[in-house]
Amino acid sequence: MLTMLKDGGVCSPKGFTASAYTAGIKASGKPDMALLKSEKAARCFAVFTTNKVKAAPVLYDKSVLEHAHFASAVVVNSGNANACTGPQGLADSERTATLVEEQLGLAPRSVLVCSTGVIGHLMPMDKVEAAIPHLVKGLHAGASDEFGTAILTTDRVKKSLAVEIETSMGKVTVGGCCKGSGMIHPNMATMLAFITTDLGLPLDFFAEFRADISDSFNAITVDGDTSTNDTCILLANGVSGIKYEDLSISEKSEFRAALMTVMKELAKDIARDGEGATKFIEIRIEKAETHAEALKMARFIGTSNLAKCAMFGEDPNWGRILSSAGSSGVNMVAEQTDLYFGDVKVLEAGRPIACDQKKLEEVVKQKEYAVTVVLNIGEASASAYTCDLSYEYVKINAEYTT
Q: What is the CA radius of gyration of the chain?
A: 22
CA distance 380 to 294: 7
Q: Which amino acid is at 359?
A: K
Q: Is 386 a residue of the active site?
A: no
Cβ(198)–Cβ(43) under 8 Å? Answer: no
**For strand 368-374 and strand 280-288, is the pairing parallel, antiparallel, or unpaired?**
parallel
Handedness of CA 234, 238, 244, 248 (dihedral sign): negative
The one catalytic residue in 96, 116, 153, 190 is 190
Name, in order, each residue with C-beta under 8 angstroms of 71's C-beta and a sequence gap of 6 or more.
Answer: 38, 41, 42, 44, 64, 65, 110, 111, 112, 233, 235
Which H or E run contains 28?
A: none
Q: What share of the chain is helix, strand, coil (3-state, %, to 5)?
A: 35, 30, 35
CA distance 116 to 151: 8
**For strand 231-236 and strand 192-197, is the pairing parallel, antiparallel, or unpaired?**
parallel
Q: What is the DSSP string of 282-308?
A: EEEEEEES-HHHHHHHHHHHHH-HHHH
Cβ(291)–Cβ(380) under 8 Å? Answer: yes
Catalytic residues, by residue number, are 190
